[in-house]
Structure 1
């Protein structure tokens, strides 16, 4: 059985075991970003909805014992995590970057009903550059501090700083949510020159299956990352953008989904 078939079978089992309907499932993480390692697992992320009866109680999902997340034990290949629809919509309302990455994933395993198209139609209305850029800068800063400070570093960790930095630059330049694919980010926001050449060589090595373990740090990339962290932090502080409250439209998405999924 292929990995994709195993994923679909797993989602069907979830629907049966939890009495829910899966609306959407995609790949997240390094495979979606375009630079998986040879031993990378499959990071499956999905959105699901309960029956109308399950929502007709005084405690909303996520309160007390009413969990709004389904997490399966990680095995050798699959890391499977799902968010309940109202949880997803509340995070979407805040422009939550991880959720927006799910929505924009180029690897979709499963999609049923019209919910995701309704959500996609609202992405431009809810996108908050401030929220997104701080998310990526915090990720870049943490990984830069943790992985890239020694004289020798795990070279593959560069991608876990480069990607959020390039995503932040994309937001700065285009005022839109950045693409997931690293190659697209690189071509879109890094001009030709020494930095781009060094990153391209690193990417080619990784995609060729090189281990990219401990090696001397690449000073030109380190200097670039340090400079961009400081510059983008200043840029983020200059932003003061707000969006109109999308709650009424998201309530419609929720109601439409219940009617469409469970109308039988």
Structure 2
């Protein structure tokens, strides 16, 4: 993985203060290819003047660039948008929030991670079911079957099952497979780590992977049905309170 010194300048160049910034994508999932880009994700804080005025600030900032030979894809959302997304059955933003690969953090980031536990519901299973189905279709329709979408299929299914069972977001396939112990996962990861981003599985056993995909889909559905996670999020009041405090603090700091 690139050193922090190579990635931190991208963070410091952002136009607004950041609540947090983390690394997502293949580096978080545990199977980056040598040529994988760096997916940086986070949340920024628009000043009050760019929220209440007629001309509002950038709710979402996207930056794609090549820096020091690294392909970087950065996306940040204003805190209000990020908090709103967190209240939906959106596992993607929660994976960004709980990523252990932290480039920038604040006390409010730590507070948000605690509050966001109240955003997790049984219905997050739909996010992982839908994501797995999309990736399987992508893998199955390709004439040259790439290892990347297949790894995504297994990653999101295991993340979803584990979430339904424990209420904990775990996006790293290596860590997940320490529990699930699927014997074919290490070989797939090794191929991805050693090859290019678009490396293919010339010997893919489609019947086997289809069987495993369907089995894990069923396991995720069963885990959702038996999960003790709540039906709806409870974190909205706490998120609202944090949003107000963060926004007012940005106004006070500017005056100071």
In 2, Cα distance between the equivalents of 1:149 and 1:223? 16
- Choose which of 135, 139, 145 in structure 2 pairs with 1:143: 135
1:128 aligns with 2:121: yes
Deviation at residue 245 of structure 1 after TM alignment: 4.3
In 1, Cα distance between the equivalents of 2:168 and 2:78? 23
**TM-score, normalization: structure 1?**
0.81
Two-structure CA RMSD over aligned residues (Å): 2.6
Unaligned runs of 5+ in 2: none
Instruction: For 1:22-171, list aligned pairs within 5 A.
Output: 22-57=18-53, 66-75=57-66, 77-112=71-106, 114-130=107-123, 132-148=124-140, 153-171=145-163
**TM-score, normalization: structure 2?**
0.84
For the residue of structure 1 that corresponds to 2:22, the secondary structure is: strand
* Partner residue in 1 for 2:178: 187
**Runs of at least 4 residues off by over 6 Å:** 237-240
Quick check: 1:152–1:216 contact (8 Å CA) kept in 2? Answer: no
For the residue of structure 2 that corresponds to 1:77, the secondary structure is: strand
For the residue of structure 1 that corresponds to 2:145, the secondary structure is: strand
Unaligned runs of 5+ in 1: none
In 2, Cα distance between the equivalents of 1:237 and 1:43? 33
Higher RCO (CA < 8 A, seq sep 6+): 2
What is the number of equivalent residue pairs in this alignment? Answer: 245
- Choose which of 213, 216, 221 in structure 1 pairs with 2:203: 216
Q: 1:200 to 1:45 in 2, by over 3 A?
A: same
Instruction: For 1:238-257, list aligned pairs within 5 A.
Output: 241-243=230-232, 245-257=234-246
Q: 1:229 to 1:173 in 2, by over 3 A?
A: same
